[in-house]
């Protein structure tokens, strides 16, 4: 825990969804495992490569996230000389709405929701996020999607929309996320309070020092004394 955060001022917690609330990598691994043309590939490499291509995709301007997700899979597969069919790519994209929450997510959000308003800021289509929130089964006060804004994090549109919809000064908001690229660094650059959910135990870098670093949502609950 870092001392810069004044817990007494917090009223709203904004969460990224995929990788923070939803087990993104487990979903990718399970979905790739169902693609016959990718059987026998280096799965961990494909997951890493797909993440890198995803980052490149969201910097290229707006298109529906399903399109970008499919393109990132194709590009990662091509690095291992694989070419999934259009039907396989579509099944992969469609599976995203059923990717599972982390085991802790539902209980942790209910604990946090007893003290704070909750919001979700996500780079996906609205219907996909709604399906994921239904699986989590916790009410949030509002959400912001790339489809609504025609913009992707790390651009600032999500963060501006969250302040407008939440009707809060950013000093009263904590942004909770796992991705340094999509969330932690841009939120810090905009002067937000940030809690980094560092599930992968990465080192804290000098160019992105958040107010809180936790390894799980349960640890976040304990830190905020929920």
Q: List residues with catalytic annotation.
A: 16
With DSSP H G I counted as helix, E B as strand and the rest as coil, what are the percentages for the chain, rounded to 5? 50, 15, 35
d(CA 209, CA 175): 13
CB 151 within 8 A of CB 186: no
Vertex 121: Cα angle to 50 and 4 (nearest 5): 105
CB 125 within 8 A of CB 66: yes
Helix (H) or strand (E) holding 121: strand 117-122
d(CA 38, CA 28): 12
d(CA 137, CA 205): 34
Instruction: Pick the closest to residue 95 from 26, 188, 192 (CA basis).
Output: 26
């Amino acid at each position: 825990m870092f001392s810069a955060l004044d817990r007494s001022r917090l009223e709203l917690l904004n969460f990224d969804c995929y990788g923070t609330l939803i087990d993104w990598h487990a979903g990718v691994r399970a979905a790739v495992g169902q693609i016959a043309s990718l059987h026998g590939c280096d799965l961990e490499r494909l997951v890493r490569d797909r993440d890198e291509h995803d980052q490149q995709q969201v910097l290229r301007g707006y298109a529906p996230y399903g399109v970008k997700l499919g393109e990132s899979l194709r590009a990662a597969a091509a690095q291992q000389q694989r070419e999934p069919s259009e039907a396989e790519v579509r099944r992969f994209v469609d599976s995203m709405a059923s990717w599972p929450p982390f085991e802790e997510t539902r209980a942790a959000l209910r604990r946090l929701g007893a003290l704070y308003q909750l919001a979700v800021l996500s780079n996906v289509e609205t219907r996909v996020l709604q399906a994921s929130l239904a699986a989590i089964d916790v009410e949030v006060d509002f959400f912001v999607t790339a489809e609504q804004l025609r913009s992707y994090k790390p651009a600032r549109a999500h963060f501006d929309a969250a302040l407008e919809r939440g009707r809060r000064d950013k000093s009263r908001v904590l942004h909770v996320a796992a991705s340094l690229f999509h969330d932690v660094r841009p939120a810090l650059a905009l002067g937000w309070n940030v809690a980094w959910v560092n599930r992968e135990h990465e080192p804290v870098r000098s160019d992105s020092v958040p107010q809180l670093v936790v390894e799980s949502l349960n640890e976040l609950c304990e830190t905020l004394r929920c």
